[in-house]
């Protein structure tokens, strides 16, 4: 099917959302048992970690770890927000920089000022959005960022979004209790899809949408670990305890030209595979054989592919053995752990 579809459904009783682009699964979100990124706690400082400048915290959902702490004493209460998912057996990663994020607006209590996405360049449109922002933020001490999707959007919808995020921020920041508790829940998959998948799309919300639209078949193919990338080539994506191993296989064609072609296809398809599989952390790519002079083109293609990906990914570079390394934020739970 041509075009973009957003399908909201459930798998094994878990809320999930899928985005299909031209019949190919492009992104997938599913609820797990861990606290959602964006969740805000009032937490209690527990014990510092010498040498790392961090502090373990106590939250209602278990231990959390806050990096780069200064002037925080054990027993002190503080507000923190979950930034991603923890590695197995480790504490929740949290930050003190709170964000209240919705489709159009991000309220930033610790960063005052009104800002508009730099991707909106039309001066008249920026003036229109600034007028909305000033109207809604009059007398509000928090900062505001208007996101790129605001371009051309209905002013009432933008204003409503700003007001909702300001209200949420006030409810959290003005809460006067002194107990460790959850103050704000992170967005579940359906709400996260509405917030982040802003391109025009057909929406499917009736039960059974995943089966009708081919999402279940696409997930089954992805979970096999063998992902076709065209021309008979494949990616093998295998998560291990230490890292995610990606092997580029040219299939039956073992020529040098086939290796270069497969590596470029890997660069284009890897972000989608990692999104849908929910994989992050250390990622090592074993590319198909290609001359060293073609490495720069591969890196350029990889960088371009990850530029539009929502998860923070650092391209670390080549190893002595000729592998390419990446570091990716653990912003999702591995699909294999949820559906196993």
Q: What is the pLDDT of residues 201-231, one digit of tens each?
A: 999 999 999 999 999 999 999 888 899 998 8
**Residues 31-86: tens digit of each pLDDT:** 999 999 999 999 999 998 877 778 999 999 999 999 988 888 899 999 999 999 98
89 pLDDT band (50/70/90 cuts)?
Answer: confident
CB-based burial, 126-157: b 16+ in 10 Å, e otherwise: bebbeebbeebbeebebbbbbbebbbebeeee
Separation of alpha carbons 91 and 65, rounded Å? 6
92 pLDDT band (50/70/90 cuts)?
Answer: very high
- Can you give the pLDDT at residue 88? 79
**Helices and strands counted in the chain (H then E):** 8, 20
- Can you give the pLDDT at residue 339? 80
In the predicted model, is pLDDT for residue 329 greater than 90?
yes
Between CA 185 and CA 196, with CA 191 as vertex, the angle to 5 degrees is: 110
Mean pLDDT of 2-15: 94
Task: Return the half-sphere exposure (C-beta side, CA atoms, 13 A cut-off) of residue 180.
Answer: 14
Location of structure tokens 């080549």: 318
Mean pLDDT of 319-332: 95
Please enumerate in sequence order all residues whose Cβ is within 8 A of that of 323, keeping only pairs 6 or more positions apart, or say none: 284, 285, 286, 287
- Which of 68-77, 134-143, 232-241, 264-273 has the lowest average pLDDT? 68-77
What is the C-alpha end-to-end distance of the chain, expressed in Å? Answer: 29
- Can you give the pLDDT at residue 35? 94
Q: What number of other Cβ atoms are within 10 A of residue 279's Cβ?
A: 23
- Can you give the pLDDT at residue 209? 96
Separation of alpha carbons 333 and 82, rounded Å? 14
1 pLDDT band (50/70/90 cuts)?
Answer: low
Q: Is the dihedral of CA 194, 199, 202, 208 positive or negative?
A: negative
Q: In the chain, what percentage of residues exceed pLDDT 90?
A: 85
- Can you give the pLDDT at residue 86? 87
Separation of alpha carbons 115 and 159, rounded Å? 15
Average confidence score pLDDT of the chain: 94
Q: Is the dihedral of CA 28, 31, 32, 38 positive or negative?
A: positive
- Can you give the pLDDT at residue 314? 97
Query: Coil, strand, or helix at residue 106?
Result: strand
Separation of alpha carbons 124 and 108, rounded Å? 25
- Can you give the pLDDT at residue 70? 81
- Can you give the pLDDT at residue 65? 95
Separation of alpha carbons 212 and 196, rounded Å? 23
230 is written with which tokens? 């065209």
In the predicted model, is pLDDT for residue 340 greater than 80?
no
Mean pLDDT of 8-31: 96
**Residues 99-112: tens digit of each pLDDT:** 999 999 999 999 99
């Amino acid at each position: 099917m041509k075009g973009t579809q957003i399908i909201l459904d459930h798998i094994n009783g878990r809320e999930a959302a899928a985005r299909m682009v031209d019949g190919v699964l492009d992104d997938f979100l599913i609820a797990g048992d861990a606290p959602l990124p964006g969740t805000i706690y009032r937490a209690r400082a527990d014990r510092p970690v010498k040498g790392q400048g961090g502090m373990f915290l106590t939250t209602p959902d278990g231990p959390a770890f806050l990096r780069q702490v200064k002037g925080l004493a054990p027993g002190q209460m503080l507000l923190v927000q979950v930034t991603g998912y923890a590695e197995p057996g480790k504490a929740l990663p949290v930050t003190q920089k709170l964000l209240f994020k919705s489709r159009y607006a991000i309220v930033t209590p610790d960063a005052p000022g009104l800002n508009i996405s730099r991707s909106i360049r039309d001066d008249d449109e920026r003036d229109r959005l600034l007028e909305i922002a000033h109207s809604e933020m009059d007398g509000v001490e928090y900062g505001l960022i208007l996101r790129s999707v605001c371009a051309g959007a209905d002013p009432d919808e933008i204003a409503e979004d700003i007001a909702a995020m300001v209200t949420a921020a006030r409810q959290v920041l003005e809460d006067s209790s002194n107990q460790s508790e959850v103050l704000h829940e992170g967005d579940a998959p359906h709400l996260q899809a509405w917030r982040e998948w802003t391109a025009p799309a057909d929406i499917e919300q009736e039960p059974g949408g995943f089966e009708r639209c081919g999402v279940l078949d696409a997930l089954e193919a992805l979970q096999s670990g063998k992902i076709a990338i065209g021309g008979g080539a494949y990616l093998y994506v295998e998560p291990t305890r230490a890292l995610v191993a990606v092997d580029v296989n040219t299939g039956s064609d073992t020529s040098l030209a086939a290796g270069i072609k497969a590596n470029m296809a890997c660069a284009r398809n890897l972000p989608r595979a990692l999104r849908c599989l929910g994989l992050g952390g250390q990622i090592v790519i074993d590319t198909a054989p290609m001359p060293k002079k073609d490495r720069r083109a591969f890196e350029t293609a990889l960088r371009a592919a990850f530029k539009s990906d929502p998860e923070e990914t650092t391209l670390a570079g080549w190893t002595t053995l000729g592998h390419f390394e990446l570091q990716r934020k653990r912003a999702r739970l591995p699909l294999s752990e949820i559906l196993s």
